[in-house]
Structure 1
Amino acid sequence: MLRYLVIAALVCVALLPFAARADEGWVLERFTAVIVIREDGVMEVEETIEADFGALQKHGIFRDLRTRFKCEPVKEGPEPLYPCPGGKDRVYKVVAQPVTDASGEAVEYKIEEIDHGIRLKIGDPDRTVTGLQTYHLRYTVEGALNAFDDHDELYWNVLSDTLVPTAVAKVTVVLPAGAEVETACYQGYYRSRERCKTASSGSTASYTATRILNAGEGITVVAGWPGGIVNVSPPLLEDRLSIDDFFTFDAAELGGAIVAALAALVLVLRLWWAHGRDRAYKTLYYLTNDPAEGTRSLFARRDIVVEFLPPERLRPAQMGVLLDERADTLDVTATIVDLAVRGHLHITEVAKKGWFGKGDWKFKKKEGSGDSLLPYEQELYDAIFEGREEVKVSQLKNKFASDLGRVKQKLYQDSVSRRWFKRSPESTRNIWLAIAFGMVGLGALMVLIAGLQFSRALIPVPLVLGGLLMLPLSRAMPRRTAIGDEALRRVLGFRLYIATAETRRQEFNEQQNIFAAYLPFAIVFGCVDKWAKAFEGLDEVAGQSTAAWYTGTGPFQVMAFTAGMRGFASSVSTTIASTPGSSG
């Protein structure tokens, strides 16, 4: 077994491990260790460490003692009498005693747990020292000896992985009287077979490095003696935590996991049904005016009747929120077009510069439309112009994202004020997203507790899975009220009208401005091409409806205008959502 030692200087600003890697200029002038092996198998170790800091200001040294080792198969040499089986850790019981200096005065030290061992932080954190400093360490070790068929043995890395050079390194091993010691000694880097000097006399053996040990080099001593002189107890073993420790996979655990899975599934579905499923009138409200309502049935048929006019004079963005429970950037873009159609601004297409120039559009403020703006529309209108009379779309790049957020927030507030939702859909999604993460976190904690305490980690796993299922489901948790559900039914009727407009082409030839008036709704519905197709061949009628609010770069043609409007919508949506850190 190996035992690693790390000695490092403490920098004067803080007690930090491995600080000497970045702060050379000092050495270990002398390292000596006396290891007395008692008849009961306990080792009494006394070390003297002489560190020369020179003119450097240091607080002291670190002394790392490794106390835990992973059991591994013996690759060469005889098998010990007491094996160290896989899946376990061999543990040394180390008890440290007071540290003193060269005059025998106590030196302040602190013990802390580190990976695979303990660390002695030796020195006063409030005082620095220079020059040659001597530290006497004493501690006992239990469980470090090995027993074989024909002998007992100590294999010990006394000094290993030092961070500074060591001028002199010497170790003495003392056994009970009557023991004849056989020795071996190695020096250098890890796995080095370079021999160091050994000598033995009776029950005492000495080991000395034959040269200065560089930083990172160490010294390993081996002492063997006939069995029966020292009571070598079986090693101290502890189970190493592994995945198998968390599970039993018996009937109780598997049955519990199945029950928990069913319970988690029922819980998630119940939460969605009770808090995410839309409310609806129990009868055809537009016929009966019966306010009785309930949760919309899973397979309920929605009676869609074509609406030839925007229901309740709703605006495009309002319909967009009703349709997908989101205030999308496309809804805001459609609102800009709607504001232009209603006479609040004029849109002018800017001619491209060169073959590879990007398209751009200019907004110009118009007054006296006689049409009042809703709060979210006023917020959008003010954010676009900011006191200016005109502005290009490109000028809004990386500057409009915060304004966009406020517009969306007012659009959500509008939907709540109309009693379509009891709470902002965005707030609802965020709340349920937090609940989902909470379920995952609680489930993970319960898995850890059940695994560590009862080896039944599988039972709470379904709670984690339920939380993961709730993550995407949180997007569907905004819940329309019965009023909102009825408004949605009517919006779907109007969308049906837009989507099937081609069948009513002859009607459009007789209606003024209908192409432009309903274009913003077609943008929200994703039906721009279908709406334009209905006016194919009616370029004059469609052109007259756009002339007052849109100026293109060429003669008006319905399909060309529609293609340009798609580019406009895409460009505006990307630009107003862009931030300085994005590429939009």
Structure 2
Amino acid sequence: MRLRLLGVSLCALGVLAGTGVPAGASGLSGTADPVVTNYDSEVRVERDGALKVSESWKLSNVTGTFTRFLLTRDHLPDDVDHVQEIADLQVKAGGETKKAEVSTEGDITSIAVEDVSGDAQLDFTYTVRGAVATTLNGTELRFTPLTGLALTVQDASIVYSTPQVTHVSCFAGAVDSNHPCTLAQLGETAGPTFRQQGLPPGNTVRMTVGFPEGEIAANAIVEYRKTFQRAFSTDTAQLVTALLVLLLGAAALLALYRLRGRDQVDPRRVVPASLFSLGQDARIDFTPPADLRPGEVGTLIDERIDPVDVTATIIDLAVRGHLTITELEHATEFARPDWELKRVAHAPAEQLQRYENVLLRAIFGDNDTVLVSELGKQVRANLGQVQDALYDGVVKRGWFTERPDRTRSLWATIGIGVTVLGVILTVLLALFSTWGLLGIAITAVGVGLLAVGRHMPAKAPAAGRVLGQVAAIRGELLEMDVSELPSDQHAELCSRALPYAVVLGGSERWIDALVATDVDDSADEGFHWYRGPRGWHLQYLPDSLRNLTTNLTGALFTR
């Protein structure tokens, strides 16, 4: 308040210093300074707390517009403001009504009267509401009719007409001054009387009158300042409610996770399984349990279709004889590598999974060959169908009761909705109330829902055994002594195991096992599923497959 009132006073004095005309009046009459010779006010305090004010201003040497100021907003602790309203204003000069312009800015209400000339008397009448507030022992009136005036007030007299009064006080001078007025008294036959002589420009006269309980009704108009502390109040009601919402939300999220998100399987369970089995004539057959495919294994483990799942599927289709991968010759040493994918006309007569057929159609379309560098938009446009088919496949196998992607999307949408609602409520509650903490609590529940939604849906009990088998297969891929495989089947069995190792880990040791089949220094063609360029050696296979994986991922998933 001090800063705002000082601003008004300094502004008024600035006008006086810069133009030679006081803020309260424009122009000069003769050479004498403009002054308020007398300010006489009668204030009648009504039972309902309204103040009926009648003022007489005797002005000397004032020409132009006369502006007077009242303090109509009082700042109290705890972000509380008491506001006073000015109504029923009339201004007269010589019995004629004068036009007055009322405006309020910050703590101050100004009343400007135009066309004031020389020595004049202005009579103001108005009503003030909101000046009486409740105290411990009754009610108390606070009124500041003089503040920030650019003229000297030679004599100010204010007389109150009131019922019984308990105490009075009056202070004059600078803003928030504790300097007493010239006179502040309780008369035996008259109401409280206040007087101040020689009030300098920019100074203030503020008065307090106390009443016993039940004498004068409180009519304080209370407004609250918009502060962070008030918007996010930690009062008992707000704090308890916010904590209750958080606790209930946390309990609901925990229940949701246990019912819909927690897998109904033991992740530590290991079920004996192997990719290899003893076949006829002492040969080793490649027999993944439950006819598991690499893409399905990856989707079952993390409930998502990752680039590695699709890349492993392409390599697996090549190993199984449905397409060939041919590395093209490099135009220069630093040229970007490229590969030709070719669909095999007479592929093995095995039944492909639906997602494998969709992937092959996405890769080749109506063609038999395609370059990895040209897969581009066609494959990316159809990749959604591949993902749909793979998700539908894991649901069909009974590993999930509902599609993981759609379930996560549903809960993510709900979580985003609750979070956005919480943010909007936080803003609105903070702006218009003290319940901002409630909005934050709702936002936190929405964020928690987003986090829980990532674990949706739960794996079905049928997935338990398969996951146990996958755990056994992972151990086999990571620890098996590859040299124990029959030498005449070594390349075939290592090739069949490689796509699974790409998904489950250990691919380097299986690639090294393929490299180990190279027993001479001559150039190698490769395998039935992977062909190198002229002069290529099996020792180059790790780098070739690493580059192939990187380029396939870029072609399929980079937009």
TM-score by length of 2: 0.59
1:161 match: none
Separation (CA, whole Å) in 1 of partners of 2:223 and 2:392: 61
Note the alpha carbon deviations across 1:361-398, whole angstroms, 9 max, x for none: 11122211123332211111112112122111111234
Q: Determine if contact 1:364/1:390 at 8 Å carries over to the other structure.
A: yes
State the Cα distance separating 1:318 from its structure 2 match: 1.1
* SS at structure 2 position matched to 1:458: helix
2:306 match: 328
Q: Determine if contact 1:260/1:460 at 8 Å carries over to the other structure.
A: no
Separation (CA, whole Å) in 1 of partners of 2:84 and 2:239: 38
1:455 match: 434
Separation (CA, whole Å) in 2 of partners of 1:146 and 1:555: 90
In structure 2, the gaps of 5 or more residues are: 9-40, 42-51, 55-67, 88-98, 123-147, 161-204, 208-219, 276-286
Separation (CA, whole Å) in 2 of partners of 1:239 and 1:383: 65
State the Cα distance separating 1:483 from its structure 2 match: 1.1
Note the alpha carbon deviations across 1:468-527, whole angstroms, 9 max, x for none: 1332332221221111222222122222221223x2422252525112112221222232
* Residue 303 in structure 1 maps to residue 255 in structure 2: no
One-letter code aligned to 1:338: D
Separation (CA, whole Å) in 1 of partners of 2:107 and 2:507: 84
- Per the alignment, do residues 247 and 547 of structure 1 end up closer, same or farther by CA in structure 2, a change over 3 Å counting? closer
Separation (CA, whole Å) in 2 of partners of 1:523 and 1:278: 25
2:291 match: 313
1:261 match: 246
One-letter code aligned to 1:407: V
Separation (CA, whole Å) in 1 of partners of 2:326 and 2:85: 83
Match of 2:454 among 444, 462, 475: 475
One-letter code aligned to 1:274: L
2:545 match: 565
Match of 1:507 among 485, 498, 514: 485
Separation (CA, whole Å) in 1 of partners of 2:416 and 2:244: 22
Note the alpha carbon deviations across 1:14-43, whole angstroms, 9 max, x for none: xxxxxxxxxxxxxxxxxxxxxxxxx9899x
1:361 match: 339
Note the alpha carbon deviations across 1:221-266, whole angstroms, 9 max, x for none: 997685679x999998742322222344244544444444333322
- Please provide the CA RMSD for this pair: 4.3
- Per the alignment, do residues 146 and 511 of structure 1 end up closer, same or farther by CA in structure 2, a change over 3 Å counting? closer
One-letter code aligned to 1:514: L
Map 1:271-310 onto structure 2 (within 5 A). Answer: 271-280=256-265, 301-308=268-275, 309-310=287-288
* Residue 495 in structure 1 maps to residue 474 in structure 2: yes
- Per the alignment, do residues 355 and 81 of structure 1 end up closer, same or farther by CA in structure 2, a change over 3 Å counting? same
Note the alpha carbon deviations across 1:130-188, whole angstroms, 9 max, x for none: xxxxxxxx9974656988xxxxx9487xxxxxxxxxxxxxxx715xxxxxx6xxxxxxx
Match of 1:243 among 213, 222, 228: 228
2:75 match: 85
Note the alpha carbon deviations across 1:527-572, whole angstroms, 9 max, x for none: 211322445533369x999522211125665552122112101110
- Per the alignment, do residues 558 and 495 of structure 1 end up closer, same or farther by CA in structure 2, a change over 3 Å counting? farther
- Per the alignment, do residues 261 and 83 of structure 1 end up closer, same or farther by CA in structure 2, a change over 3 Å counting? closer
1:436 match: 415
State the Cα distance separating 1:321 from its structure 2 match: 0.8
Separation (CA, whole Å) in 2 of partners of 1:533 and 1:572: 21
1:386 match: 365
- Per the alignment, do residues 222 and 301 of structure 1 end up closer, same or farther by CA in structure 2, a change over 3 Å counting? same
- Per the alignment, do residues 419 and 146 of structure 1 end up closer, same or farther by CA in structure 2, a change over 3 Å counting? closer
1:73 match: none
Separation (CA, whole Å) in 2 of partners of 1:436 and 1:471: 5
Q: Determine if contact 2:298/2:504 at 8 Å carries over to the other structure.
A: yes
Q: Determine if contact 2:272/2:472 at 8 Å carries over to the other structure.
A: yes
Q: Determine if contact 2:412/2:453 at 8 Å carries over to the other structure.
A: yes
Structure with more helix by fraction: 2
- Per the alignment, do residues 414 and 140 of structure 1 end up closer, same or farther by CA in structure 2, a change over 3 Å counting? farther
Q: Determine if contact 2:73/2:81 at 8 Å carries over to the other structure.
A: no
Separation (CA, whole Å) in 2 of partners of 1:373 and 1:145: 78
1:202 match: 120
TM-score by length of 1: 0.57
2:36 match: none
State the Cα distance separating 1:332 from its structure 2 match: 1.3
Q: Determine if contact 1:440/1:467 at 8 Å carries over to the other structure.
A: yes
Match of 2:391 among 412, 428, 442: 412
- Give the length in aligned residue pairs: 388
1:531 match: 510
Match of 2:114 among 150, 160, 173: 173
Separation (CA, whole Å) in 1 of partners of 2:447 and 2:254: 13
* Residue 426 in structure 1 maps to residue 405 in structure 2: yes
